[in-house]
Amino acid sequence: MPDVEPRPLAELTTLRTGGIPDRMVEARTTDELVGVVRELWSAGEPVLLVGGGSNLFAGDEPFDGTVVRVLTTGIERMPSPRPGFVRLRVAAGHGWDDLVGYAVAAGLAGIEAMSGIPGTVGAAPIQNIGAYGQEIVQTLVEVDLLDEVDGEVRAVPASDLALGFRTSALKQHYGSVPERVAVILSVTLELAEAGHGERPLAGDQLRTALGLGAGDAVSLAWVRDHVLATRARKGMVLDEGDHDTWSAGSFFQNAVVSAGFARTLPPECPRWPVAPDVVDTVTVYPLATFDGYVPPPTSQESDVKISAAWLIEHAGLGKGFRLARSSRAALSSKHALALTNRGGATAEELSELARFIQGRVQSEFGLILQPEPVLVGVEL
């Protein structure tokens, strides 16, 4: 097995916390990855997969098991059955932003608005990454998956992964176990052959973020450059020298609440309707018992997504907030949703700040913000 000297998770995660695990393995080929994980699963050993470590909040106590670093790389271009599209099959450990750069340089559209998201391609479906209205679910065809249930590798269509807003069947949300324990070995995307010319940009959110009007035409490369610049201004592109980027991106998820609850919040709090689940509206009345009365249809109000950043700032916790001068954990000075490590912060210092924010938002607005990163050995 490709064992290496274990390194502290603080060196492998962008929040820069976590001790030295018992054991560490580096998988550089898909066969190595499959072999190592199968062996650990059959021995009943705890396994922690680590890609770019940009969505992991690791506790101060060392992980009591094996950390498997996913370091496989490679992009394979394949024809698509849809005219005007191509497919890219990408190894799990390949850098996400490297893939976006490759696609844009090849004139392939569909992921350019997600430029600058840190981490690996294999972790991208885990929380259905997204930015400025683009999400991986829009281009994801299938993944090659190693399933814990039977240790088999199979191609699984995107529709079987329950991809939703920053979630999937594979994500370990705080306080729960994932619906499906599996390793993504490769990801297949279908992208449009758009070329290098300028064209009007689809998507209000992206146009607004980039300051474009509905008729303005731009190239894929222009979108990528401007997304990267916009994200960098918010500390959302990794930069070793900028502590505002020593984070896991957004630490709290935008809250999804009922329309009734949303009405109790101040009207200026930003909110977006969430499409309701499709319900079966056909009701069958057995003729033998039908008394002639059909109840009126009930109107179904959509749930509402609420801006977590607005709730935090309006609970009095502005950008740059920290608990005490001595704490090495603080909100980013550029973005109220990012908890950051100002250098040497422990997981406990970051957790204290996270709990304080949750408490303030709860007492001010009556809802508990949920963390977005995967928590390993951390209690909030």
Are 303 and 312 in contact by the 8 Å Cβ rule? The answer is no
Q: Length of the chain, please?
A: 380
Give the residue among 367, 312, 375 at the shortest CA–CA distance from 338.
Answer: 312
Binding site for ligand FAD (CB under 6 A): 14, 48-56, 70, 92, 117-120, 122-124, 126-127, 129-131, 170, 172, 183-184, 236, 238, 245, 247-249, 374
Question: Which C-beta is closer to ligand FAD: that of 27 or that of 220?
Answer: 27
Nearest approach, Cβ of 212 to ligand FAD (angstroms)? 19
Question: Which C-beta is closer to ligand FAD: that of 123 or that of 315?
Answer: 123
Q: If residue 372 lies in a helix (H) or strand (E), which one and from where to where?
A: none
Catalytic residue chosen out of the listed positions 54, 168, 186, 250: 250
Nearest approach, Cβ of 211 to ligand FAD (angstroms)? 19
Nearest approach, Cβ of 12 to ligand FAD (angstroms)? 8
Provide CB contacts within 8 A for 3, sequence distance 6+: 23, 24, 25
Question: Which C-beta is closer to ligand FAD: that of 30 or that of 358?
Answer: 30
Nearest approach, Cβ of 376 to ligand FAD (angstroms)? 8
Question: Which C-beta is closer to ligand FAD: that of 49 or that of 312?
Answer: 49
Catalytic residue chosen out of the listed positions 166, 207, 224, 271: 166
Q: Is residue 326 annotated as a catalytic residue, yes or no?
A: no
Q: If residue 52 lies in a helix (H) or strand (E), which one and from where to where?
A: none
Question: Which C-beta is closer to ligand FAD: that of 217 or that of 229?
Answer: 229
Instruction: Output phi, psi for 146, to 5 deg.
Output: -100, 115
Strand order in the sheet with 23-27: 3-4, 23-27, 66-70, 47-50
Q: Is residue 45 annotated as a catalytic residue, yes or no?
A: no
Q: Kindly calculate the radius of gyration of the chain based on its CA atoms and give it in whole angstroms.
A: 22
Instruction: Output phi, psi for 285, to 5 deg.
Output: -105, 115
Instruction: Provide the 10 A C-beta neighbour count for residue 84.
Output: 8
Give the residue among 296, 260, 259, 291 at the shortest CA–CA distance from 281.
Answer: 296
Q: Is residue 250 annotated as a catalytic residue, yes or no?
A: yes
User: How far is residue 37's CA from residue 321's CA, in Å, rounded to a whole number?
Assistant: 41
Nearest approach, Cβ of 177 to ligand FAD (angstroms)? 12
User: How far is residue 328's CA from residue 261's CA, in Å, rounded to a whole number?
Assistant: 35
Which residues are identified as catalytic?
166, 250, 372
